[in-house]
Amino acid sequence: MSAAQLVSQYLDAYTSGNVDAAASLVSEDFSFHGPITESVGRDALRRTVAHVVSGARGCRILRQCQDGDDVCSLYEFHVETKTGPTSVLVSEWNTVRRGQVASSLMVFDTGPFRSTTRKGGDSLDPVCGMTVDPATAAAHRRHRDHDYHFCSKGCAELFDAAPDRYITPTARA
């Protein structure tokens, strides 16, 4: 299988929210760099994919270029947000080593995941910017006399590791 075919399978699994399939296609030391988070390891990828599972609806690859083991993909990521279904334009650079995806550098506009207005008592997840209902949040943390609510346990774990990285005046509940 070519590097481009492997990356296409990975993208299909990732954007469909298939955690096990996405993890099976990456190396143990897989590195991910995106606009919301950076991580290393297959388990970290599992947490990242778990973060998008509920809203992931697949993708449509618009263009893909391969140069040896490097693959650059431009695709529409179909996702359900709090404001409804949308497509996010994503550019992703992957490197393949020994038949597995070894790294990902992803660029996209996080705007569709952020709400400009909060309904009722909703707050913003300080890690990813998604609107979160505190009553149904996947996790909650209290830090420096402020409450923070998270859309997923993965976002809460990232916050736990470096809270000051994610705290901004707009992230405070």
Of 86-95, 97-106, 114-123, give the lowest mean pLDDT range: 114-123
pLDDT > 50? residue 170: no
pLDDT > 80? residue 162: yes
pLDDT > 50? residue 99: yes
Q: Give the separation between CA 171 and CA 148, rounded to whole angstroms.
A: 8
The pLDDT score that the predictor gives to residue 117 is 44
pLDDT (mean) for 109-123: 62
Q: Tell me the pLDDT tens digit for each residue of 31-75.
A: 998 887 788 999 888 877 777 777 888 899 999 999 999 999 999
pLDDT > 60? residue 161: yes
Domain boundaries, the chain: 3-110, 114-171
The pLDDT score that the predictor gives to residue 171 is 44
- Class for domain 3-110, per CATH? alpha beta
Confidence category of residue 164, pLDDT binned at 50, 70, 90: confident
Q: Give the separation between CA 163 and CA 44, rounded to whole angstroms.
A: 18
Overall pTM > 0.75? no
The residues near 17 (Cβ < 8 Å, ≥ 6 apart) are 49, 52, 53, 54, 55, 56
pLDDT > 70? residue 113: no
**Virtual torsion, Cα 110, 162, 30, 88, nearest 10 deg:** -10
Highest average pLDDT, of 42-56, 80-94, 108-122, comes from: 80-94
Q: Give the separation between CA 36 and CA 2, rounded to whole angstroms.
A: 29
CA 49 to chain centre: 6
